[in-house]
Amino acid sequence: MTNEPKTETSKNTDPKTMTPDLRSPDVLLYSDLYKNAMMGADACAKMVGRTNAAEDAASAQAGTFSAQAETNAPQAVRECMELRQEITDMMTGYADRAKAAADALSDMGVPAEQLTMLEKLPAEIGITMKTMFDKSVSKCAELMVNGITMGIIDMKKAQRVCSEDGCSPAAYRMASDMIAFSERYVERMKEFL
């Protein structure tokens, strides 16, 4: 059962001051969308670096070079290249969704709140530590599945709460798009496990 928005429109300005209402359901949902997408893009950027390390390790083990043509590369190197491409595509998708959420916030007169180092640090440390000794394609894909799944859970919670509070259909659709996008990439990452 989906929780469709209760109202057609939501009030995004404080009627007394005519300034943006930072507690409006739309502002809250777009802010959550922006942060979720930025966290996803940042995690993808970090993981692209780890897949480079995984490719280098696979190449060294096979006695090949990373620059070798894909058709001549051993299976492990090809898998690293394919995973890196999927993660790069995912990073672009997250960046596009972050920009759309930031634009929606801007249209309401609210700046998108940038992620702090404290918000970014746990994911960066986790990726680094969990791939320190296991740089395999499978391990990288597993970490991506776990991270994406956490993002999906957070987005579903935010969407439900804001829907109950009367977010606009546009905000609800953007959240639904983000969830569907993330779910597609969970399935793609599972192919590398």
* 25-190 CATH choice from 3.40.50.10300, 1.20.140.10, 3.40.50.300, 1.20.1260.10: 1.20.1260.10
Query: How much is the average pLDDT of 55-84?
Result: 68
CB atoms within 10 A of CB 148: 24
62 or 139: which leads in pLDDT = 139
Q: Break the chain into its structural domains and give their ranges.
A: 25-190
- Hey, what are 31's tokens? 């802010």
Cα atoms found within 13 Å of the Cα of residue 32, Cβ hemisphere only: 26
- CA geometry: angle 132, 150, 28, nearest 5 deg: 130
Q: What are phi and psi of 13, to 5 degrees?
A: -125, 150
- The predicted model scores a pTM of 0.80
pLDDT computed for residue 6 by the predictor: 45
Q: Report the range of poorest mean pLDDT among 9-23, 40-54, 76-90.
A: 9-23
The DSSP result for 55-71, as a single string, is: HHHHHHHHT--TTS-GG
